[in-house]
A = this chain, B = another copy of it.
Amino acid sequence: MSEQTFSEWLRQQCEPEWTAVVTHPFATAIIEGTAAGDAMRRYLEQDFQFVDSFTALLGAAVAAADTFEARVPYGTFLGQVATTEEKTYFHRALAELGGRTEVPLEPVTAAFRELMDEVRRSQDYLLIAAVLCVAEWCYLGWASRAAEPLPESFVHREWIELHEGAEFRAWVAFLRGELDRLGAGLGEERRREVLGVFRRAVELERAFFDMAAG
């Protein structure tokens, strides 16, 4: 792998899908504040359906991490995300858009939840970290392309702010750092196994934005 970190290698192996996600027309519409209310409602209704599986996956990371030091950032993030910000945002945004918190799952939503649940049940820390890393790093990718001034509508603006800023960057850096730390000494077969999960997550992120774009 020469000087390349494991997380960077994983990302590059997923091109061109990775770039398709972070430059996706629907993501661009969010950061430009032009995503229509109906599309945004449908997107957030489906995204809200991940809150439970994603929270459970964070718990699984706390449970399966190989050191106490690694458990701490997951625990801290769990305390923040699950209990306050994201849930509050979803409820306010869905109220604004006339959306619902319980909706039938789109096929891509069901498939992504199944990946999260499968990885959670595996108790395999590296696979858990890989899925979490894709979800957060991809979102940092598109959100960090937003230019000032951010959209006026809180529905767009806060969704960008939740996936940008110093704290979120540190969180993504931690996730990448965990993949780099654990990936450094892996054999070829195990690296391919991690890549398989990482790639499925990237493909699902792209399909999720495709679904949102209609």
Say which one of A7-15, A51-59, A130-138, A159-167 lies at the interface with B. A51-59
Whether the Cβ atoms of A83 and B76 lie closer than 8 Å is yes
Whether the Cβ atoms of B79 and A80 lie closer than 8 Å is yes
How many angstroms from the CA of A74 to the CA of B80 in the assembled complex? 12
How many copies are assembled?
2
Inside 8 A of A59's CB, which chain B residues have their CB? 58-65, 71, 74-75
CB distance from A51 to the nearest CB of B (A): 7
How many angstroms from the CA of A74 to the CA of B63 in the assembled complex? 12
Inside 8 A of A82's CB, which chain B residues have their CB? 62, 71-72, 75
How many angstroms from the CA of A76 to the CA of B55 in the assembled complex? 12
Please report the total number of A residues contacting B with Cβ < 8 Å: 27
Does any Cβ of B come within 8 Å of A23's Cβ? no
Interface residues of A (CB under 8 A from B): 51-52, 55-65, 68, 71-72, 74-76, 78-80, 82-83, 120-121, 123
Interface pairs (25), CB distance under 8 Å: A52-B71, A55-B68, A55-B71, A55-B75, A56-B63, A56-B64, A56-B65, A58-B62, A59-B59, A59-B61, A59-B62, A59-B63, A59-B65, A59-B75, A60-B63, A62-B63, A63-B63, A63-B120, A72-B82, A75-B75, A75-B78, A76-B83, A78-B79, A79-B79, A79-B80
